[in-house]
């Protein structure tokens, strides 16, 4: 059984799954995420498009959604027309992709409304021992793994795996030469899929090989390391291409790290203010996009103000870098 450690930060909850001291899974829930997969809510049918359509999710189910949050419904519920209300279950959360925002996806259900479980409950339901707190060794591993996700690069002996999220799939390019990279590259891919929660279509470009035996052995090693995860894959062809398809209930750590950089910086700044222990009026100095993220969440600033015992202002500065916290003059 694995251990799961939970850390609450301003605007974010983190969960780290650890086996024998090694971080194997990372999970993040952030302010503004909206509904998570598994939630059942009331929705109004807005627009039918063949066998599917668009719905507007209702209030009252938690998760930070609003009445104007829209989702794709598939299939369209039988016997209902546009304007009707029905209960739906979220099978995929909404998230940002390169160049666009992907709507949540829902399906009709006859079950009663029900909120999605939080990270603690979801991990406990999987049999993990859940603990509040963040041991130092977990923090060090988390920081290294998140930095790797920001760079999109995982090092292996003799090369690296380079990850690029696209609207269609996650591209994984193996940088390095020689057939000897095939097995270690796929082993690293399997560990990274589990660590970052990668889902959807994943296409990996391995060194080309005409040796079918080498390709088969490497693929079987990948399968064994993916034990317990739902996936399908193709064989590795002679050009070194293999495709993996997995469920995609929400954004992965890779997508969080690369496509939500303003949120990451804003949460780090709020956490810095909390850990710094400064008392009184504070000023959060941040790049404009980070300042906008913070200003759009007055409830987080209000919580920081209560902790500091004084007002917390946000100042946009194009050259602020990673941002910093200042004690405002009295």
pLDDT in tens, 283-322: 999 999 999 999 999 999 999 999 999 999 999 999 999 9
Q: In this model, does residue 23 exceed pLDDT 70?
A: yes
Q: In this model, does residue 113 exceed pLDDT 80?
A: yes
- pLDDT, residue 97, reads 73
**Where along the chain do its domains lie?**
3-33+118-133, 40-108, 152-253, 260-327
Q: In this model, does residue 207 exceed pLDDT 90?
A: no
Q: In this model, does residue 64 exceed pLDDT 50?
A: no
Q: In this model, does residue 116 exceed pLDDT 90?
A: no
Q: In this model, does residue 157 exceed pLDDT 50?
A: yes
Q: In this model, does residue 171 exceed pLDDT 70?
A: yes
Among 42, 87, 83, CA closest to 60: 42
- pLDDT, residue 297, reads 96
- pLDDT, residue 293, reads 96
Contact indicator for 240, 206 with CB cutoff of 8 Å: yes
- pLDDT, residue 84, reads 94
Q: Measured between alpha carbons, how far is 224 from 253 in angstroms, rounded to an integer?
A: 23
Summarize the confidence of residues 180-202 as an average pLDDT. 95
Q: How confident is the model at residue 67 (pLDDT cuts 50, 70, 90)?
A: very low
Q: Measured between alpha carbons, how far is 41 from 46 in angstroms, rounded to an integer?
A: 15
Q: Measured between alpha carbons, how far is 256 from 252 in angstroms, rounded to an integer?
A: 6
Q: In this model, does residue 61 exceed pLDDT 50?
A: no
Among 330, 323, 275, 266, CA closest to 300: 266
Q: How confident is the model at residue 69 (pLDDT cuts 50, 70, 90)?
A: confident
Among 196, 194, 193, 195, CA closest to 204: 193
Q: Which comes out higher in pLDDT, residue 40 or 116?
A: 40
**What is the residue whose two structure tokens read 């399968």?**
223
Among 66, 50, 48, 46, CA closest to 58: 66
Tell which CATH architecture fits domain 152-253.
3-Layer(aba) Sandwich (3.40)
Backbone φ, ψ for residue 102 (5° rounding): -90, 125
Q: What is the DSSP letter of 269?
A: H
Q: How confident is the model at residue 276 (pLDDT cuts 50, 70, 90)?
A: confident
Q: In this model, does residue 58 exceed pLDDT 90?
A: no
Contact indicator for 285, 242 with CB cutoff of 8 Å: no
Summarize the confidence of residues 121-137 as an average pLDDT. 91
| Mean pLDDT for all residues in the chain | 91
- pLDDT, residue 99, reads 67
Summarize the confidence of residues 177-188 as an average pLDDT. 87
Summarize the confidence of residues 163-174 as an average pLDDT. 94
């Amino acid at each position: 059984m694995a251990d799961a450690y939970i850390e609450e930060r301003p605007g974010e909850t983190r969960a780290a799954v650890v086996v024998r001291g090694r971080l194997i899974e990372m999970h993040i829930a952030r302010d503004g995420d909206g509904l998570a997969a598994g939630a059942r809510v009331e929705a109004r049918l807005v627009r039918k498009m063949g066998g599917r359509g668009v719905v507007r999710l209702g209030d009252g189910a938690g998760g930070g959604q609003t009445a104007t949050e829209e989702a794709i419904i598939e299939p369209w519920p039988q016997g209902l027309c546009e304007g009707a209300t029905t209960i739906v279950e979220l099978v995929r959360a909404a998230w940002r992709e390169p160049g666009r925002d992907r709507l949540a996806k829902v399906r009709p259900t006859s079950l009663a409304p029900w909120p999605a479980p939080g990270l603690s409950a979801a991990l406990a339901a999987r049999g993990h021992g859940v603990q509040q707190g963040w041991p130092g060794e977990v923090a060090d591993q988390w920081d290294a793994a998140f930095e790797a996700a920001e760079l999109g690069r995982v090092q292996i002996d003799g090369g690296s795996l380079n990850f690029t999220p696209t609207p269609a799939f996650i591209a994984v390019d193996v940088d390095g030469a020689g057939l000897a990279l095939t097995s270690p590259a796929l082993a690293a891919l399997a560990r990274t899929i589990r660590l970052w929660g990668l889902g959807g279509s994943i296409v990996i470009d391995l060194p080309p090989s005409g040796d079918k035996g080498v390709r088969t052995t490497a693929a079987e090693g990948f399968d064994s390391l993916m034990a317990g995860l739902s996936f399908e894959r193709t064989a590795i062809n002679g050009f070194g291409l293999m495709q993996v398809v997995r469920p995609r209930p929400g954004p992965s750590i890779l997508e969080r790290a690369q496509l939500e950089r303003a949120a990451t910086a804003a949460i780090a700044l709020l956490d810095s203010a909390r850990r710094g222990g400064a008392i009184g009026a504070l000023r959060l100095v941040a790049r404009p996009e980070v300042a906008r993220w913070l200003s759009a969440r007055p409830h987080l600033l209000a919580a920081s103000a209560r902790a500091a015992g004084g007002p917390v202002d946000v100042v946009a500065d194009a050259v602020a870098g990673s941002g910093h916290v200042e004690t405002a003059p009295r």
